[in-house]
A and B are shown apart, each in its own frame.
Chain A
């Protein structure tokens, strides 16, 4: 399970980009994500986490929870 704070940040950023409520079980495409919103989401997550965001993490995660787990794992690896 991703750290709650990472998931909360991901959902907050996603809600800003999509202008709608986003749940942990949604995925990027189920909330209407497209190439334009992907660029926005990646840029904002980059700002929020101060690290490069691999587009595959955004586009290929089955849920936002999974996306947050991937990002959390990357942060843990970096700080280890």
Chain B
């Protein structure tokens, strides 16, 4: 493995994970120990430091899947397929965090675990669709897998702007159009965003590495780094 995967990747991988873990630990500490307790919602409001960064990373991950899918269709290089699939899979984990943390917030803020408001509904649809991406991808063998996955990566992206703009397009949204915070709360939210993005990068490269190893195993050769 180490003979074909460049040394910088292995070194960078360790550094990235170290930075990610430190940042996430710092962000959680800042959220629960340093950020002021919100007057109305109390400690439950701190979910926002996990929920909002996870939602942002989800959109980032599915956006990367879209871009990599287009790149695959244009170049047919396996690397772009690996990037798209890896990003989508890690993005699903963050999307699930959003769907779990959302109802915890909703129970306290809106007095219900779930309500059919635009952002919640469209996000659930997004989660279902990208879940479908993985099911379809896993159902296809051979060369068609990459092409079909890339087409899906492009087609499903249509839903991202719908999720993003849903609070403006439909009446009755309980989500704010933008998260506005000041002072220490804002600083902690910014730190959480950074931590989650770096954590995504670390998990993403790990998944990409797995794709590289799978590709090598399928071709019967030594693993090679994505180029």
A and B assemble together: no
Using a CB–CB cutoff of 8 Å, the interface residues on chain A facing chain B are none
Using a CB–CB cutoff of 8 Å, the interface residues on chain B facing chain A are none
